[in-house]
Structure 1
Amino acid sequence: MSATPIVIQWGLSSYSGWGVNGLQLALNWTRTGRFAPLCSLPLRLEEIALSPLEWQRMAGLFRESESFCAQIAPHAGQEVVVSVPVLRGLGNNLAGSRSVGGVTLRGRTTVGVCYLEDTGIDAEGRARAADCAAIVAGSGFVQRVLEGAGITHARTVLQGVDPTHFHPAPKAGWFRDRFVVVSGGKPEFRKGQDLALLAFRAFAERHPEALLLTAWHSPWPEGARSLEANRAVAPVLFRDDGRFDAVGWAVANGIRAEQVIDLGPVPNADMARILREADVGLFPNRGEGGTNLVAMECMACGVPAILSANTGHLDLIRGGNCVPLTRQSPVSAPFGTDGWGESDVEEIVAALERLWTDRAEAQAIGRAGAAFMAGLTWERYADGVAAVVEGVG
């Protein structure tokens, strides 16, 4: 018996959160046969990093997706009804993802997959929510925001990690004499790179062996300008090709050039070997609609993580599995930030000092984080999303 087709109505990629989410759904459903996934956007194969075996096993998806896009492309800008389930990505105010040519798909069952940063939801947003038979909320925070707006047909399903890549393993030892702090996420006010920079600068003044390892690539580099809302940091810098200049910005903020390395764009599966070289992961994020994939991957590798105790991070914080930043002040912005938190720089520095001073405690926190993350896999996530689709289909 052949598997039921299901359409993922957003792009697949190894370089962005949404892209990894869709790619992992496709990989897991193709492997288990629970659904036969296809994508309604043209696939840019140069943005997808897979093993030779995965490329072969996914060949049918790529072929069927190309054919499906060709079928719906003539209906550019219109709504197209299909006889199979559709997963619709939902962003701020429940704005929905679209297919090739701006086509909006309505499936036999349409299920929203929702990640919110802006907590403001108006009547139009509620109407978009009602257009979905069910909504998968990417965190408990998102579900609470939706329920506060009167949207009650959402169910939280937490994202995961690929345990074949992200797990404790020996370091390669590239930074034997350094204390490595890793920080990841696209550069923007929400992700809090400004706070990470200020805290690292203070820490590095006392510890010259400290090294900041940044994975701050973004397909939308202009979003980094939002970091300038914090007047305590220097204006952001960009390279001649338009990319965000992480090292130049760090140096402009008083960090020595030899104390920062920027990784640039890294395919998701390659991050594990990088994360395991770190001594600590630093995530003072102001707002997370999901659970923060980089933080989850860091914890899964056994690297102790410092997490702001707000929004989607709250789903990750359990006794002893990380160092939570509990001094959270309200965040003011020209959009909805209910539940966001401004981490205290002094508390971040104290957390770094704690993990630098007590390496045994740091290792214990890392082990606890890895044990916790062992229960949060992409396979579990794919099963959870499938259960929601099947429950309304």
Structure 2
Amino acid sequence: MPTAQPAVIQWGLSSYSGWGVNGLQLALSWTRSGRLVPVCSLPLRLEDIALSPLEWRRMAGFVRESEALCRQIAPHAGQEIGVSVPVLRGLGNNLVGSRSAEGVTLKGQPTVGVCYLEDSVIDAEGRARAEPCAAIVAGSSFVERVLTSAGIGRVQTVLQGVDPTHFHPAPKVGWFKDRFVVFSGGKPEFRKGQDLALLGFRAFAERHPEALLLTAWHNPWPESARSLEANPAVAPVRFHENGQFDGAGWAAANGLRADQVMDLGPVPNADMARILREVDVGLFPNRGEGGTNLVAMECMACGVPAILSANTGHLDLIGADRCVPLTRQGAVTTSFGTDGWGESDVEEIVAALEGLWTDRARAAAIGRAGAAFLAELTWDRYADGVADVVESVL
């Protein structure tokens, strides 16, 4: 039986961020399937990774090999070094690439880019950064269009997934009883559109006193939440004494009563399912998504009807009757490239909420259709798609 091919994941793993969950799920899936042998070239912060005791036991070899690789490359701090196995390099805006421990850049045989970007401008330096990549995995059709429009080839879209063992329809526990619960998630920033969610919910709640805004707003870089203040219709953001974003305080500053909002802060990815199943609707008026928006995908997978802005990466999720699309998308002007972004209309957000509140049978049908669609978009499917790209350029 041939030995499985090792593959290096060159970005950090975590249960609390999109990139972190992406890498963690690749490692879990490949460890189970044996399709590739994953190893991470950044130190594993085990306190940031939430796994079951069984998963930790089965991932013990991955942890050991990752720690060994980090020790091997540490003496080469700040350098680029070649390795004889495939390397997955995370690519962000303008194709800036991820690095390994001690700032080392690994050049694989081959190097395959994994790209999520929001800034639609790619300059000559960005195109040059793409050159070492034998292929690039785009996280959405939007990203593929941006890359190909910049003259970058060898690009293939592979949509992210959900873990169906966690994210699937199941009964509510019933924590909120007679409340109508609207969920808003993601790291608070202008791009994610929490300001629009807040304004839309506030108007809706004026007519529906039983409405509750349940949020999981956590940003590892709290200061970037100040970008929400670009919208003059909302109050300045608030912070706790420890510097973390104060979601409930910001909501109160914008006119919500204490009993109208509950902010959960950071939540490990695997714990989100039991939270999402308690809500009535997910609200995602995001201005720009490089990927397909993991939180929205997980919401839909749990059978919760989702309201999605019809722009960028969300377009890969939107389909007939499986969500409520926000189609009034205005232009967004910032200091960087926002081609394909969209400014959702607050009145349309309110109308979407009203529609789901009024017609619960339709809301349930949308939730079922969304869950059926997401049942096919698993992390194992994603991991196989990435492995296909890697193996195609070996």
Q: TM-score under structure 2 normalisation?
A: 0.99
Distance 1:375 1:30 in 2: 21
Partner of 2:164 in structure 1? 163
How far apart are the structure 2 equivalents of 1:268 and 1:218?
Answer: 14
Residue number in structure 2 paired with 1:350: 351
Tell me what 2:306 maps to.
305
Match of 1:55 in 2: 56
Give the whole-Å Cα distance in 2 for the aligned partners of 1:259 and 1:190. 24
| Equivalent position SS for 2:42 | coil
CA distance in 2, matches of 1:322, 1:387: 30
Structure 1 partner of 2:187: 186
In structure 2, C-alpha distance between the alignment counterparts of 1:364 and 1:341, rounded to whole Å: 27
Q: CA deviation at 1:2?
A: 2.8
Segment of structure 1 superposing worse, 83-92 or 216-225: 216-225
- The alignment partner of 2:136 has SS state of strand
* Secondary structure in structure 1 of the residue aligned to 2:133: coil
Distance, in Å, in 2 between the alignment partners of 1:256 and 1:150 is: 51
How far 1:251 moved relative to its partner? Answer: 0.4
Q: Deviations over 1:216-249 (max 9, x none)?
A: 1111111100000000000000000010000000
Partner SS, residue 174 of structure 2:
coil
Separation of aligned partners in 2, 1:108 and 1:179 = 53
Provide TM-score, normalisation by structure 1: 1.00
SS of residue in 2 equivalent to 1:285: coil
Match in the other structure for 2:200: 199
Alignment of 1:33-182 (within 5 A): 33-182=34-183
Distance in 2 separating the partners of 1:10 and 1:385: 15
- Structure 2: how far apart are the matches of 1:30 and 1:2? 13
Aligned counterparts of 1:223 and 1:271: Cα–Cα separation in 2: 23
SS of match in other structure, 2:6: strand
Letter in 1 for 2:232: R
Secondary structure of the residue that 1:133 maps to in structure 2?
A: strand
- Using the alignment, how far apart are the partners of 1:36 and 1:151 within structure 2? 29
Quote the Cα distance in structure 1 between the aligned partners of 2:125 and 2:199: 39
Distance 1:334 1:24 in 2: 34
Which residue number corresponds to residue 369 of structure 2?
368
Aligned residue identity for 2:356: L
How many residue pairs align between the two structures?
393
Letter in 1 for 2:77: A
Give aligned-pair identity as a percent.
81
Cα displacement (A) at 1:311: 0.2
Amino acid at match of 2:253: A
Deviation at 1:4, TM superposition (A): 1.3
Alignment-mate amino acid for residue 78 of structure 2: G
Give the letter for the 2:358 counterpart. Answer: T
Q: Counterpart of 1:280? A: 281
Displacement of 1:17 in angstroms is 0.2
**Counterparts of 2:234 and 2:186, CA distance in 1:** 18
Q: Deviations over 1:258-296 (max 9, x none)?
A: 100011111000000000000000000000000000000
Structure 2: give runs of 5+ residues left out of the alignment: none
Corresponding letter in the other structure for 1:135: I
5+ residue gaps, structure 1: none
What is the CA–CA distance in structure 2 between the aligned matches of 1:391 and 1:216, rounded to whole Å?
Answer: 39
Number of the residue aligned with 2:28: 27
